[in-house]
Amino acid sequence: GKRKYIRADCKNDTSISASCVVQSRTIKMEIENISTVGFCATIPLSYQNLFQVNSVLRKLSLIIQSKEIICKPLIYFNNNSILFM
């Protein structure tokens, strides 16, 4: 089907990242892509069991260049990546 939203590929962009604290562990994520409705991040496999599908993170820090954006995203899974909306 046709895409409704354009996504920016961020795989090789070191100026964008995300992190959150889950069960007293700080988890750093690599951002794969981002759009106006959400972003896709990759986390280490050892931390995937800490995230539950259809749950909301209380605090996630999304850093784009030097700007920090605090959000409360809903979590979805897509293969080995996590989708945040």
Q: Exposed, middle or buried, 2 (CB in 10 Å: 0-12/13-18/19+)? A: exposed
Question: Which pLDDT band holds residue 79 (cuts at 50, 70, 90)?
Answer: low
Computed over every residue of the chain, the mean pLDDT equals 87
69 C-beta neighbours (distance < 10 Å), count? 10
Max mean pLDDT among 3-17, 43-57, 71-85 falls in 3-17
The whole model's pTM is what? 0.78
